[in-house]
Structures are given as structure tokens and as C-alpha cells.
Amino acid sequence: MGSDSSWMAEAVRELGRRRLVRRAGRVMRVMGHTLEVAGPTASLGELCALGRDASEGLGEVIGFHEGRLYVVPLGPLPEVSPGTPVRFLDRQFRVRCGPGLVGRVLNALGEPIDDRGPLQGPLVWRAVDVPAIPPLRRGRIRSPYATGVRAIDALLTLGRGQRVGLFAGSGVGKSTLLSMMARGGRADVNVIALVGERGREVREFLEDDLGEEGLQQSVVVVATSDEPAYVRSKAAFVATAIAEHFRDEGMHVALMMDSLTRFAMAEREVGLAMGEPPSSRGYTPSVFAKLPVLLERAGPGAEGTITAVYTVLVEGDDPNDPIADAVRGILDGHIVLSRALANRGQFPAIDVLQSLSRLFPSITTEAHRQAAERVREWMARYSEIEDLLRIGAYRQGADPLTDEAIERMPEILAFLRQKKGETMALEDAVAQLLDLARDRA
């Protein structure tokens, strides 16, 4: 009798876990790209099928108010009319992950768009919206990460598992620098997210910047600027989930996202459509809440790591843009690209004096740190008197340190320049820095 009652209790629990009645609602109103649905209750993030035969596509529940649900289609807005049925699927959004993704180009929902057929190899489903690893379960960042870019590896050394922002205005070389890091970086796999990118530039990035060699060790997730705001936002989380999968397999992953600003803009559109009041420069409060939720998911795990580089589009070249300011406080460093340097033809246009790697002191040797400090001191001194030099107001011999900075500057500029197709090992970059900083006989 006891065993029978135990079996029945388990059956009741199983029935409770399963929904025996198909839940459905109907469209009552369309607000921009958001559907207002009347019907049963549903949880945030639950997927639903739009249309009678679900052929119109999928949607996701993003909010509710006074008995109505707000649903955003995961794709172009389907043909809807008052009363269009919406069936709830009792599951959250997931994406397929595995080695078969490497070398492929995916859309914001994790589906291939590169005309190379379906995804192959062993694949597992992974939830996209998951919390970050708890702080005490993260590994420590103890070793440097080689990017292949001499200026970064020598003067702004990154650690494996570090998260850094790449701050720049439009047209200063962010995408080119990302591609250099993807080709020259020492990661097991790259996960590259192009969020809100111009459709014309996607193929240019893949063929000209990344190249076939870079693509063969990368997973590229693309959401172009003409796609719905929620889909653009979802691309950032899909790319992060894919990177987390490889990290949990013990791999060292480079996650590169271009751009975090367009992710924030997409979240702003969603928030405004939901009736959220704007705050700083039109951005809604939920944008600033979502940024740490996304960014904290990168970093070291128990074994593998995610070294993340996020580009931040600085509006009007203003470094105090609200998104730039918020991101700078979350990440472990920032690399600033200067329009003035780009106008002079210096590429990559990294402003070393305005950039910072918070982990530089803990992952470099004493000799490396001293050499970097000396070179930065010369650059700072030269920057102070550069205007005087242009008008001929500085008198040679007035200050020995300034004279030395003027003498060394041509070598420093040559050291900072690097061609797009050129890569350099971290050890070689540090050796060149040590040679640059040594005393001349």
C-alpha cells in the first residue's frame, strides 16, 4: 500500500509539472513591434507561437500589465489582426552549442545564415538567459592573454578572462582592431557578435577584415541594423551563451562584441515601447540594469575563460557619454581609440595615455612594468610640449627629460604602428618594449 501511495504521489507531481491544457491567447493590440495579448498567464521569457499553425514565427513574453501580456516577435513582425491566436509553449529561449558552430555565421537566434547547410556535429541546447557564475566560483586571472596587437600586449597587457571596452567614435578603426585581435589572439575559439551592424559591412568584415583564416576559428553572430530591436538585443545574449558553452568545456574563449552601444540602443527601444520613462539622454533605467547582467557573464570560470572585448561607440567623441561612463565602471579596463591619431595616419589609433588595463600590474613582470612606465612617461612629457614644438617655442636643452622624450618619440610611434595583416607574439612585443625603454649609450 505504501509503494502504491508513493507511486501515486510521484504521478501527481509529474502531472503538476506538465500542462495538460494547451494555453492560448489572442492579439488585442499592436504597439510598434510589441503585441499586447489577452489570455492565460505566462512567465517572463516564455516562448509562444504566433498564428494558427505557428508558421508565422516565434515570440517571447517580455512583460505584463493588468491581465495583458506583452509579446515581441523573434523576427519580422508577422501579419496579425485583432484576435490572431498566440499559443504558449511552456519553454524559454535556447540556442544550440557545440564544435559544429566554429567557422559558421549565425543570425541572432543561433540559426546559420552562411548558405553552408544545417549545423553539423554534436550539439547541445543551452538556455540563453542564465545568471552569471557566482563570484566565489570564478577562477583568478593570473596569466596574460596575447592579442597579437603590439601596443596592447606591451603597454596595456590583458589577462585571460579580463573584460575590456574598446571606446571610439565612428570610423576610427574599431572593427579593424577587433579583426586583428581575432586573427592574432591566442584563444581556442573566437565568438564575434555584430550587433546592429550595417548590412553592407557584414560581408566586408567577414571577407576583408576577419578573412578565411580568422573565420575558421570563430563563431560569428549577426544582427543587422534593420532587424527588430529585441532581436538585436538577443544577439548579444546568444553570443554570450555560446561563449559560455565553450568556456564550460574548459576552453579559452575570446568574446568580441561590436557594439555594446547598439545593444543599449536596442534595449532603449524595447523599454520605450513598454512605456518605460526615459532617464539619461533618453536611455531607460532598464538599459543600465541590463548592462551588468550581460557583462558579468564573461570572465573566468572554474577551468576555461572568456576574455571579452566590447566596442563602445562614443557619440560625438564624448568619453562621458552615459553608456560609455556606465560601461567603464563595470569592465576591467578600457582601450581608447583617438580620432586625432587616426587623422595622422597612426593605426591602430590607440591613445595609450587615455587607456588602462586594471590587471596590468598583476600579470606582468617587474621589468615589463618599469619599461611600460618609462615609455608612458616619455609619451606624457611629449604630449605636454607638443604644441610648443609646432610653433617653435620650445628651446632644446631646457629640460633633459623633455629632450629625451623628443628624441625617443619617433621610435615610440614606429613601435605603436602595426599593419592590419601583421601579428606579433606577446613575448616579442615585450622584448621590443624592453629594448625601446633601455638607456642608449
Q: What is the pLDDT of residues 405-439, one digit of tens each?
A: 999 999 999 999 999 889 999 999 999 999 999 98
**Alpha-carbon span 187 to 411, nearest angstrom:** 30
Q: Is the pLDDT of residue 3 over 60?
A: no
Q: Average of pLDDT values for 386-412?
A: 87
Q: What pLDDT does 6 receive? A: 54
Grid coordinates standing for 382?
611629449
Output the pLDDT for position 7.
45
Using the predicted structure, report yes or no on whether residue 158 has a pLDDT greater than 70: yes
Mean residue pLDDT of the chain comes to: 90
348: preceding bond cis by omega (within 30 degrees): yes
Question: How high is the pLDDT of residue 215?
Answer: 93
Ranges 79-83, 113-117, 214-218: which has the least confidence:
79-83
pLDDT score for 280: 79
Reported confidence tier of residue 387, pLDDT bands at 50, 70, 90: confident
With 60 as the cut, is the pLDDT of residue 1 above it?
no
According to the model, what pLDDT value does residue 441 have?
59
Report d(CA 368, CA 371) in Å as an integer. Answer: 5
Percentage above 90 pLDDT, the chain = 67
Determine the Cα–Cα distance for residues 172 and 316; give it in Å rounded to an integer. 12
Please compute the mean of the pLDDT values over residues 121-130 and round it to a whole number: 93
Calculate mean pLDDT across residues 207-234: 93
Residue 72 has pLDDT above 80, yes or no: yes
Q: What is the pLDDT of residue 142?
A: 93
Question: Whole-angstrom Cα distance, residue 438 to residue 269?
Answer: 53
Residue recorded with cell 557619454: 321
Contacts of 215 (CB under 8 A, 6+ apart): 103, 105, 206
**Angle (CA) 56 60 61, round 5°:** 130
Interval 153-176 mean pLDDT: 94
Please tell me the distance from the alpha carbon of residue 94 to that of residue 241, in angstroms, as a whole number.
9
Q: In the predicted model, what is the mean pLDDT of residues 255-277?
A: 92
- Which residue did the predictor score with more confidence, 226 or 5? 226
pLDDT band at residue 12 under the 50/70/90 scheme: very low
DSSP for 23-45, written as a single string? -EEEEEEEETTEEEEESS---TT
pLDDT digits (tens, 9 = 90+) for 250-264: 999 999 999 899 999
Mean pLDDT lowest among 134-143, 250-259, 387-396: 387-396
* Overall residue count recorded for the chain in this entry: 441
CB 37 within 8 A of CB 52: no
Rounded to whole angstroms, the Cα distance separating 179 from 126 reads 27
Single out the residue of 25, 68, 6 nearest to residue 275, CA to CA. 68
Which pLDDT belongs to residue 399?
84
Report the phi/psi class of residue 274: left, alpha or beta, with left for phi > 0 and alpha for psi in -120 to 50.
Answer: alpha
Strands 46-50 and 144-145: unpaired
The average pLDDT across 301-309 equals 95
